[in-house]
Structure 1
Amino acid sequence: MCSIIALRTAFYAARKQYAQARVYLSLTHYWTVSHLDNPLRTYKGREVVEALNTRCQQEGDFAWSVAYHPYPQDLFHADFWRDTDALDSLDTPRITFRNLQILAQYFAQPYLLYDGKMRRIILSEQGFHSDETEEGEQIQAAAYAFAYWKVLNTPGIESFILHAHVDNRDEFDLNLGIRRRDKSDASANAPGEPKPVYVICRDIDGPRQAEIFAWAQSIVGDESWR
């Protein structure tokens, strides 16, 4: 459990310089399953949290926080509301935006609290792919809006950080940006034209929020919008 030792060391080193510093345990969308069967290469998110919490109870707890990445089940399909591995259960294989409430429910359990309060949770990295079609970009925009709605309606989530600003040529054929890449430029991520999701990002905190949510719901569907 070298990672647990490293997390504790980083926490106290940071707090020595700044009393309010936070150190985050970073987890992907894999919860009770792992990306690969090799435990030396990948791990199950919940197992890591349980091991960390057990060691903290034995050796002394500290205020570690959680940085989660609830990407869609298939990174090439932005419509996370169709994720089949994201169940409404603490034993779910994955936690994506479809079942984001499970993340908060899990950390609200009494044995995982710190000083009587739920640990701080941020969504430090997530994005939604769009293929180079009008429909694909519309689904990407709806996915962002629905994810934003989910965060607003999930107590305990402190931030939602989108990846990325521009489609990146070198990112495994994923187009996660709110802008298209300028393919006439030699750079891997030279900013091009904005995609529909750009306007959603720009306006979602303003007076158009209800309109945006209604538009996204018309794409997601009433049954999935929850």
Structure 2
Amino acid sequence: MTSDRQRPAHVAIIMDGNGRWAQLRGRPRLFGHHQGAKRVKEIVRACPGLGVDYLTVFAFSTENWKRTQTEVAGLMRLFKSYIRREARSLHEENVRVRFIGDRVKLEPALVDLMDGLELMTAGNTGTNLTIALNYGGRDEVTRAARRLAHDVAQGKLDPRKISDETLPRYLDTHVLPDPDLVIRTSGEARISNFLLWQSAYAEYEFIDTLWPDFSAAVFADVLSRFGMRERRFGSVKA
């Protein structure tokens, strides 16, 4: 475990490789997504022992609607079954759950489950789990800018006083600290429109492990490497 000074309090993960993991085993892509959902539970449970207070996972992007209708429909069923199945245990384990992303395009039954889980866990004080669902960084900033512009038009906000601390108050993540570390699994080295504003000074780890193989031990290993990094936030070492 890393020291308090070096530990990442907030880790964000792009959970990539579910479909490839399944195809390598001759199974349909949705089988990999089901295995990946099980892995989330293990990683959430590992967070307290590893000193991670906030965990944000990228479950479905605004671009994922381009996938086949079969895969998208299967993912939506998976999200609903995951919430129904895990809600009680997440609550009993003191996990605070939040969802970020645009809910307008999601079916009402799923949104109701999301709202219910957030309400159920609102008073919990353990790991903060944030699930990005129908989320895109550009979409989030666009929606935030729209709300900010509305407040300016309504006279609630003086445009002369807008700074780089103003926009974050309109983001989906306004109640969360910025991520210290962003992990992407499966060997891809891109950020895929994930937490664009929030990750300006995050450290990145791109690893070859496919998400269904991303165990608590792999997680701990990645965090240990984070502990060896020197974060300067634009300054120089004294």
TM-score, normalised with respect to structure 2: 0.33
Normalised to the residue count of structure 1, the TM-score between the two structures is: 0.34
- Per residue, is there more helix in 1 or in 2? 2
